[in-house]
Amino acid sequence: MNKEAFKADDDWSYSGDTGPEHWSEIAPLCATGRQQSPIDLEEFIPGDLPPLHFHYDVRALCLANNGHAVQVHFEPGGAIEVGDHRFDLDHLHFHAPAEHRIQGKGYELEAHFVHKDEANATAVVALLYEDGAFNRAFAKIDRLLPANKGETHELAIRLTAAEFLPDKRDYYYYDGSLTTPPATEGIGWYILKTPLTIETSEVQGVLRADDGPNNRPLQARNGRKVLA
């Protein structure tokens, strides 16, 4: 793994003089964008959404701390298919507490599976975790989370991307943005309806690795449709 690929970016953070209220100073879309994420998903519109097909039988290779989130990087070949459109899996990262809300309800943790297609368009599958029983997949990496910015840990354990997913794959969809600078819009968000459970101690591991909460505040919906 190329450790330089995970080098920390110190131009922004989640608190203080470089926190979200100042992100527009380096990413103007944070102030001017009309499709910013995350949002509170409510007032759903029934839609004929195609099923998500996951090709996630790919092994996790390493954990990386880029200074803003803990990332999981996988061997090549992971992907989702939305209808006949394929998006290749780039990486998985976590936000604690969760960034999106469902009808006002907040969650303990949110996983973002980030994908790219051949034209470099981005699709993100989001998975929410609520307080409860420990999470078996997360437990495999809990004690291996890199604590320092720019640090990576190669994984010798057997862990696939599929192990993180719930059995039910129904989802909400909306058009949004990256939740970090540069806050690029035109991102397809697929929010899985079924949350998983996670123990408080596991969430604390993410918070320690990220040096505190790493969730962007909710953004204005601006009349966007949320399909279900």
Residues 6+ apart with CB under 8 A from 115: 79, 80, 87, 88, 89, 90, 122, 123, 124, 125
Of 166, 159, 203, residue with least CA distance to 54: 166
Residues 6+ apart with CB under 8 A from 226: 39, 41, 42, 43, 44, 45, 172, 173, 174
Q: Which of 22, 53, 68, 93 is catalytic?
A: 68
Would you say how long the chain is, in residues? 228
Question: What whole-number distance in Å separates Cα of residue 81 and Cα of residue 55?
Answer: 8
- Residue 40 carries which side chain, given as an amino acid letter? D
Whether 68 is catalytic: yes
Adjacent-strand bridge partners of 35: none
Question: What whole-number distance in Å separates Cα of residue 173 and Cα of residue 58?
Answer: 25
Query: Which residue has 């809990």 as its token pair?
Result: 142
Catalytic residues: 68
